[in-house]
Chain A
């Protein structure tokens, strides 16, 4: 076979479509990939909404919501320590020796009470280990429980309501007045600052927040956003 008889390769006609198709694909993919990364890797997608199955079917909606038990009744270390302790079995048994003590749901609690083996609750809000977080510093500065934990008093099963990412922390550290409240309202899940006549809710919050920032001597932005404030 000689060279002139060999069939030369020519691109097929439909390749003429390749350019518009390619443009559409590049534009589409160029939108698609960042969308996927932005939303897919966002803490709102991968962290928020985590609601592990707990060893006891305990309802915050009943205890903290309906019955109105203060958060600190059980999480009693929150004002004095960095860690807001999960209550001991004794705290549960304080009431439940005489309330519904034959309930199936209480079995793990009673077992723990009898054996002395702690109930292994699953941690819902878990910060990275290199982030220094202190509950007492926040609670005593007028940061409400609800600001980071959401409306726990309405949750049958506790889930992570906020992002707990660094940018989320920094947002508040830059503008704490958006979230500050009087210390005696810290555990109030429905706190709203009292608005003056004709004042919007946000304006009232900013006014109250600024007063509280002054009163509780909250650090300035330079300190609040310094690396070593949270990474020690």
Chain B
């Protein structure tokens, strides 16, 4: 988070995290396609030759003033492939909030768990480990033939206390709701700090 009091500008970092092929990049592509071009950056994607995320995807959104501050939201997604653990950690560093994008397919349940666990290990290593850290869970690919329900996935990941959304990211279902939730959560967190500091 970067706060520039001269410009009354608030820069926030939100990271989309999750296992390979869960739809992290699809979320950013959909957001990019739906936001007024005057209010967003281009979508930056560092990809492998096979069109997989190599390092990160990046998109900035510029919101209108909220209580006198202009928030700029920096959205990042991490690479999902197992070999890029170091890169995931680098991208996650400095995040103000995370969206955990799970793959709802039953076949991917262990990949979700492993990714969730690793994400928490990274956050803990940064000194972040508390229910106060803004986290939103998205159960993506609900259109998979073997998709588990939100209830089943919630129990499996142990995320009952967190905001959760079902989604089909390429169609946009649940994408905007997830974005609203995580930005609101990060801003509420900041509000608490600003008021109590």
Query: Are A and B genuine complex partners?
Result: no
